Amino acid sequence: MTALDLNSPVAVVGSGTMGQGIAQVALVAGHPVRLYDAAPGRAGQAAAEIVARLDRLVEKGRLAAADRDAARGRLEAVGTLSELAGCGLVVEAVLERLDVKQQLFRDLEEVVGEDCLLATNTSSLSVTAIGGALRLPGRFVGLHFFNPAPLMPLVEVVSGSATDAGAAGRALETVRGWGKTPVACADQPGFVVNRIARPFYAEAFELYETRAADPATVDAVLRESGGFRMGAFELTDLIGQDVNEAVTRSVWESFFQDVRFRPSLAQRRLVESGRLGRKSGHGWYPYAEGAERPEPHTAGPEEAPGHVILLGDLGPAADVVELIREAGIDLRIEDEGFAAEEEKGRLVLPGGGTLVLADGETVGEYGPDLVSFDLALDYRAATRIALAASPVTSPDTLAEAVGLFQALGKKVSVVGDVPGMIVARTVARIIDLAFDAVARGVAGEEDIDTAMRLGVNYPLGPFEWSRRLGDDWAYGVLDAVHEREPSGRCAPSLALLRHAFTAAK
């Protein structure tokens, strides 16, 4: 499939945040671009803003002055829809309302030729529903750019039920030609990124609602242990709680209120109180001048244990064993009588207490002598590790566990006894939704990995993460979490179960 010819004009309808960004991308790629907006004067203003942005790129040496001048010559703000006749592609970025978008495309169909590709930048409406208003819905696709469009490399190319494969292929090659990384996906709620990213927020909010940890601690653990660029609380403060919640509600409602996508009551209250995040001066955190940012829980110094006994293997946490050796702690391997098939790999502390990797069970089930530690993306690079203790965990066992990780150079956050802790449950749920999405035909594995790395900056794609952790790891965690929290919110999908039981065979 070939990309749209660079001489073919591209129209952008709606010249707000996204429209301006998309217009800039098409313009710099070499197309003539026509901007239209329903608000009088808005398109002209937007064109001026785009040119000002190009000027800044020239100042920074990222665009040649001659290219800026040529781009300026190709950019035109128009005052009526009929001036979009002759365009090869129209990208719509207007208000997120089905009736408004449908009417716009009905009007556009009267103006443009039958070979003009029509695209919507909707992030939450059904592409199929918008295209349903068209006489020729085969040439209609979703082109979901991320904000800011000139900087974000990912574009989800969404095929509605009536979209022709040729039109989707042409749209995909066109945005690839614009220097973007397109991923093809089907028209299901949230497409790829907004669907699979939901648990990143939901699990953090759930931990807060169940008082397992405060926002600052969850954020610190997600960043410093999980390898995520930002924690869920600080990220939603940046996005805006209203905007983030609207995406969650839309995905949840579009899935007929599937419990796996259930919104958070705590976030609802935040939105109701007007604490929308940075833009309103207060969200999960305060942003007023001089406001103190809460600190994550960080345990005080404890003595390093004199020795540690390793039983079995620690699976995805095997590097912890290496780190213990390198820290000069006497590591004894006493596997005699250890039944690897039935027993968890664990570290035994000098006082007789044990330390296990979070696996979806709770530590309280095992009495006073168990502490669990959370999953880390890379135990060597992690600067913080979360430990879970129950109300009955013996203070001595906890102190020895804290001292051990401190001796490995880590800060330690002690959190409540929730199955799957923080990173482990979050990563397991992201992996689960990714397997489920593939099984339901949303997109392919590689495209999902690409989308999650580029769309929301995850350190690894869900499938890469799953391979690294072991094929049955995520299933094991979620199966155990689900047994303990049987609402169905964390129930592993059939696709994940199949993978766990067939991949290794």
Q: Is 209 a catalytic residue?
A: no
CB of 77 to ligand NAD, least distance (A): 12
Applying CB under 6 A, which of residues 10, 12, 87, 93 lies at the interface with ligand NAD?
Answer: 93
* CA 231/CA 212 separation, integer angstroms: 16
CA–CA separation, 476 and 413 (whole Å): 24
Contact call for residue 16 and ligand NAD (CB under 6 A): yes
d(CA 80, CA 90): 14
Name the minimum Å distance from CB 452 to ligand NAD. 16
Using rule CB under 6 A, residue 462 touches ligand NAD: no
The HSE-up count of residue 355 (CA atoms within 13 Å, CB side) is 29
Cα 195 from Cα 252, distance rounded (Å): 9
Tell me the window of 13-21, 331-339, 365-373, 443-451 that interacts with ligand NAD (CB under 6 A).
13-21
Beta pairing, strands 370-373 & 75-77: unpaired
**Which of 194, 250, 264, 390 is flagged as catalytic?**
194
The piece of 116-124, 162-170, 254-262, 403-411 that touches ligand NAD (CB under 6 A) is 116-124
Measured CA angle at 361 (ends 356, 364), to 5 deg = 80
- 124 burial (CB, 10 Å; 0-12 / 13-18 / 19+) is middle
211 CB neighbour count, 10 Å cutoff? 10
> Is 156 annotated in the active site?
yes
Query: What are 34's strand-pairing partners?
Result: 11, 76
Using CA atoms, how far apart are residues 325 and 13, in angstroms rounded to an integer? 61
**Closer to ligand NAD by Cβ: residue 147 or 298:** 147
Give the separation between CA 196 and CA 292, rounded to whole angstroms: 33
The residue among 267 and 413 lying less far from ligand NAD, judged by its C-beta, is: 267
Where do we find the tokens 């968890």?
344
Cβ proximity to ligand NAD, 40 vs 300, nearer residue: 40
Size of the site for ligand NAD (CB under 6 A): 22
- Cβ atoms of 163 and 127 closer than 8 Å: yes
Determine which residue in the list 96, 173, 464, 471 makes contact with ligand NAD, applying CB under 6 A. 96
Nearer CB in complex with ligand NAD: 20/466: 20
Measured at CB, which residue is nearest to ligand NAD? 16
Binding-residue pattern over the window 359 to 398 for ligand NAD, x denoting contact by CB under 6 A = ----------------------------------------
- Beta carbon nearer to ligand NAD, 42 or 484: 42
- Angle (CA) 236-238-243 rounded to 5° is 60
What's the CA gap between 29 and 32, in Å, rounded?
Answer: 9
Candidates 109, 156, 203, 485; catalytic one: 156
Examine the residue annotation and report whether 15 is marked as an active-site residue of this protein: no
18 binds ligand NAD (CB under 6 A): yes
In 276-310, which positions are buried (b, 16+ CB within 10 angstroms) versus exposed (e)? bbeeeebbbbeeeeeeeeeebbebeebebbeebbb
Respond yes or no: is residue 173 known to be catalytic. Answer: no
- Shortest distance, position 101 Cβ to ligand NAD, whole Å: 7
Q: Report the residue number, 100 or 162, with the smaller CB distance to ligand NAD.
A: 100
Footprint (CB under 6 A) of ligand NAD, residues 126-155: 145, 147
Distance CA 137, CA 69 (A): 37
**What phi, psi does 273 have (nearest 5°)?**
-85, 0
Catalytic residue among 15, 31, 126, 144: 144
Nearer to ligand NAD, 250 or 354 (CB): 250
CB 218 within 8 A of CB 208: yes
Please say which residue, 118 or 212, places its beta carbon nearer to ligand NAD. 118
Q: Point out which span in 88-96, 222-230, 309-317, 421-429 binds ligand NAD (CB under 6 A).
A: 88-96
> Which of 14, 137, 316, 353 is close enough to bind ligand NAD by CB under 6 A?
14
121 binds ligand NAD (CB under 6 A): yes
Output the smallest distance, CB 243 to ligand NAD, in A.
7
DSSP per position, 43-73: HHHHHHHHHHHHHHHHHTTSS-HHHHHHHHH
Work out whether 122 is an interface residue with ligand NAD (CB under 6 A). yes
Tell me the per-residue interface mask from 34 to 73 with ligand NAD, x by CB under 6 A, - otherwise: ---xxx--x-------------------------------
Q: Name the residue nearer to ligand NAD (CB basis): 77 or 478.
A: 77
237: Cα separation from own chain's centroid: 15
Name the minimum Å distance from CB 240 to ligand NAD.
9
* Cβ atoms of 414 and 398 closer than 8 Å: yes
How far apart CA 119 and CA 142 sit, in angstroms, is: 5
Half-sphere exposure of 472 (CA within 13 A, CB side): 11
By CB under 6 A, residue 15 contacts ligand NAD = yes
Among 23, 27, 71, 104, binds ligand NAD (CB under 6 A): 104
Cα separation, 356 vs 369, in Å, equals: 11
The answer to whether 432 contacts ligand NAD (rule: CB under 6 A) is: no
Catalytic residue among 15, 123, 372, 466: 123
- The residues that are catalytic are 123, 144, 156, 194
Question: Which residues would be at the binding site for ligand NAD (CB under 6 A)?
Answer: 13-19, 37-39, 42, 93-96, 100, 104, 121-123, 145, 147
